[in-house]
Amino acid sequence: MQSAIRITTKVIAGNKLEIQVPPGSVGEEVEVFVIIPEKPPCRRKVLELLTEIRSRHVSRTVEEIDRELQEEKNSWDN
């Protein structure tokens, strides 16, 4: 029966891996699969994100916002 173990380790200096297998494996040939996890997309700086969000929305004055809110409230009564 073929057995397998899953070992998580870190890459050490010199781009090398160090793993330890269970006792009794000395001299045996083994296969090693290295799966490198996908890196998450680069995160943008907060100020860049805020600038983009602001550019998508039309600037409104306080008076315009208040008027729109009042119109919405008035529609509730109808």
Q: Residues 1-48: pLDDT tens digits?
A: 667 888 888 889 999 988 888 788 788 888 888 888 888 777 778 888
> pTM of whole model > 0.85?
no
Query: Does residue 56 sit within a domain?
Result: yes
Q: What is d(CA 30, CA 25) in angstroms, rounded to the nearest whole number? A: 9
Quote the tokens at residue 30.
Answer: 């083994």
Query: Does residue 57 sit within a domain?
Result: yes
| Segment 62-76, tens digit of pLDDT | 898 899 999 999 998
Q: What is d(CA 1, CA 10) in angstroms, rounded to the nearest whole number? A: 29
Query: Does residue 71 sit within a domain?
Result: yes
Indicate the number of domains in the chain.
Answer: 1
Quote the tokens at residue 12.
Answer: 């050490």
Query: Does residue 65 sit within a domain?
Result: yes
Q: What is the pLDDT of residue 23?
A: 82
Query: Per-residue pLDDT for 78 more than 70?
Result: no
Query: Does residue 53 sit within a domain?
Result: yes
Cα of 59 vs its chain's centroid, Å: 31
Q: What is the pLDDT of residue 41?
A: 76
DSSP state of 27: T
Domain with 63, as residue range(s), is: 46-77
